[in-house]
Structure 1
Amino acid sequence: MELVAILSGLAAAVAWGTADFAGGLASRGVSAVRVVLASQFLGTLALLALNLALRQAIPAPHDLLLGMIAGLAGGTGLVLLYLSLARDKMGVAAPLTAVASGGIPLTVGLVTEGLPGAPQLTGFLLALVAIWIISRPDGDSPIRPGNIVLPLLAGIGFGVFLTIIGRVGPDAGFVWPVVAARLASMSLMAALVVAGLLRSRGKSPGEGRASFPWSLAALAALGDTSGNAFFILSSELGRLDVASVLGALYPAATVLLARLVLGERLTSRQSAGVGVALAAVMLIAV
């Protein structure tokens, strides 16, 4: 396995985990949809500014279309995840979504690129187990069929995003495909914000009086955008399934940041999950 591809996949996990941490904090005071819309807007501006230095050419329409389709899939996944979390099923939604988001591109990669060696396959399985262990909080919550539909659909949306964005041409770069994805996703989020405003007309402004956490939204934008760039790099230099499984380890970064910044204690189960994740990475890197 290419070392750079593996390191890029891990960097994507760290970046996405940081984005989730910042976005989660920001969403404690304002609507999560507004936070996502703001962070994606800031991320798009950052990408366009970065391209002034990189001067990546606009790729073929095919690659831009792939980016837009990926953005719609990812945005739909976010909406479905928020709907699921709103039903107080976070303990079920988080691990199901994380595992599904890694499982879709993993399956596609195995079909299109063939089976890797036995150590890598073992690492894939351990990584999926680690994602579940790390994401699922303490407390036993009964899992009913009605509780798993939205999380699985959300994970499929994220998995489709990873699969499609990882298939852009090697000459497309990462700026314009991600910009196309962001524009499509922002259009969806903007429609949701407008719908929410229309639905709340005449009601107490409440949330609208709270100051918007722009600094956290900017950190989420940096993490999400750089995570996408690292993922594209990893999938181009190595295998899609490897990039997807490594990137799907992002919950580990989120819980570690919660421990370091907020002082939240890692449960024994989460600590074990981090250990399993490290073992998975070592097997994948063989």
Structure 2
Amino acid sequence: MLTVLLGLGTALVFGAADFFGGLAAKRMSALLTTAVSALAGLVAVALIGLPLLGGAWSTEAVWLGILSGVVGATAIALLYACLAIGPMSILSPLTAVVSAIVPLTVGLIGGERLGPLGYVALALALVAIVLVGYTPPGSGDLVRGAVRPSLRALLMAVASGAAIGAFLIIIDATPDDSGMLPLVFNRATSSVLMFAAVAVVAIAAWRRGTGAAASTRATRAGILIAVVCGVLDVTANAGVLLGVRLGDLSIVAVLTALYPAGTIILAAVVLKERIAVLQYVGLALAIGAAALLALA
């Protein structure tokens, strides 16, 4: 039961982080948004998470944390790149489903077992992921452009989902006594990689003379929102870490992949965006799947 609640809570927090990340990216570059959020997450987990929950230092915890940071940064870069190509209505749920299937498969191969009711619940959750991530055609810039995704976009979406799944597998492999330590090195690695990427892009733009001056007010607002995004994201990662230590990787992975629900709910409440009928169906299926998993 606790694992199910952690999985659902983590999905909602991940979705909220994506929502604020999207708002920040409207005010400054997506790359800078990712870098600032990673740094904010590092500060949060180092100053709050680690002192509160602690963690035993070990070579395994450090290296797995670093590896998860590299894989996580790769996943985000691929996700933003494929969604920029579009259409998001297909690529977003595809990424979420792959991110669930990869650790689900590894968990089941590794010996995790569920009753018949549990497998039905996981199947319902996978369907819910697709429906929740569905974007109605004609909903503005999100789906404007080609209806059919290119092979390149599909491959990037699958690679992003696989990288997210790999991140979950790596986090699951961290020592049980390492506490929040792996997340400290995860965020430190992501921060270094992202700010290095920002610097490379800025230098390249400066050399070409194509750098555009951004509004100081917009950038400041973007940084503040990105900080909120980073704190939420690392909180969700802590939820994943606790979830896989208390329960099965397969359950946590599938429930976490419902993260679009959090984004959709916030967008509806804050931005007054319309929720499609199929998305309501997906949310209902997600709730039903969670209840079945709890019973299983």
TM-score range, shorter chain: over 0.9
Query: Any stretches of 5+ residues in structure 2 without a counterpart?
Result: 138-142
* Alpha-carbon distance in 1 for matches of 2:106, 2:286: 22
5 Å matches for 1:146-165?
Answer: 146-165=152-171
Aligned partner of 2:140 in structure 1 is: none
Please tell me whether the aligned partners of residues 202 and 211 of structure 2 are also in contact (alpha carbons under 8 angstroms).
Answer: no
Aligned partner of 2:78 in structure 1 is: 80
Query: Any stretches of 5+ residues in structure 1 without a counterpart?
Result: none
Against the structure 1 CA distance between its residues 161 and 241, is the aligned structure 2 distance closer, same or farther, given a 3 Å change threshold?
Answer: same
Against the structure 1 CA distance between its residues 231 and 70, is the aligned structure 2 distance closer, same or farther, given a 3 Å change threshold?
Answer: same
* Alpha-carbon distance in 1 for matches of 2:290, 2:118: 9
5 Å matches for 1:218-237?
Answer: 218-237=227-246
- Residue type at the aligned position of 1:195: V
Against the structure 1 CA distance between its residues 231 and 51, is the aligned structure 2 distance closer, same or farther, given a 3 Å change threshold?
Answer: closer
Q: Deviation of residue 122 (structure 1)?
A: 1.0
1:257 aligns with 2:262: no
* Alpha-carbon distance in 2 for matches of 1:85, 1:13: 20
5 Å matches for 1:184-199?
Answer: 184-199=189-204
* Alpha-carbon distance in 2 for matches of 1:247, 1:57: 24
Q: Deviation of residue 204 (structure 1)?
A: 4.2
Aligned partner of 1:106 in structure 2 is: 104
Aligned partner of 1:68 in structure 2 is: 66
Q: Deviation of residue 185 (structure 1)?
A: 1.6
- Residue type at the aligned position of 2:193: L
1:246 aligns with 2:252: no
1:203 aligns with 2:201: no
Aligned partner of 1:267 in structure 2 is: 276
- Residue type at the aligned position of 2:214: E
SS at match of 1:115: coil
* Alpha-carbon distance in 2 for matches of 1:206, 1:73: 32
Q: Deviation of residue 203 (structure 1)?
A: 1.9
Q: Deviation of residue 238 (structure 1)?
A: 0.7
- In the alignment of these two chains, the number of paired residues is 283
Q: Deviation of residue 14 (structure 1)?
A: 1.4
Deviations 1:87-130 (A, max 9, x none): 23322221111111111111111111333111111111111111
Against the structure 1 CA distance between its residues 52 and 249, is the aligned structure 2 distance closer, same or farther, given a 3 Å change threshold?
Answer: closer
Please tell me whether the aligned partners of residues 255 and 266 of structure 1 are also in contact (alpha carbons under 8 angstroms).
Answer: yes
Please tell me whether the aligned partners of residues 17 and 229 of structure 2 are also in contact (alpha carbons under 8 angstroms).
Answer: yes
Please tell me whether the aligned partners of residues 130 and 276 of structure 1 are also in contact (alpha carbons under 8 angstroms).
Answer: yes
Could you tell me the TM-score, scaled by structure 2's length?
0.90
- Residue type at the aligned position of 2:189: A
* Alpha-carbon distance in 1 for matches of 2:50, 2:168: 26
RMSD: 1.7
Please tell me whether the aligned partners of residues 86 and 153 of structure 2 are also in contact (alpha carbons under 8 angstroms).
Answer: no
- Which region of structure 1 is more displaced relative to structure 2, 254-263 or 55-64? 55-64
Q: Deviation of residue 217 (structure 1)?
A: 1.3
Aligned partner of 1:169 in structure 2 is: 175
1:90 aligns with 2:88: yes
Could you tell me the TM-score, scaled by structure 1's length?
0.94
SS at match of 1:138: coil
* Alpha-carbon distance in 2 for matches of 1:184, 1:24: 22
Please tell me whether the aligned partners of residues 113 and 239 of structure 1 are also in contact (alpha carbons under 8 angstroms).
Answer: no
* Alpha-carbon distance in 2 for matches of 1:76, 1:190: 14
- Which region of structure 1 is more displaced relative to structure 2, 139-148 or 18-27? 139-148
Please tell me whether the aligned partners of residues 17 and 252 of structure 1 are also in contact (alpha carbons under 8 angstroms).
Answer: yes
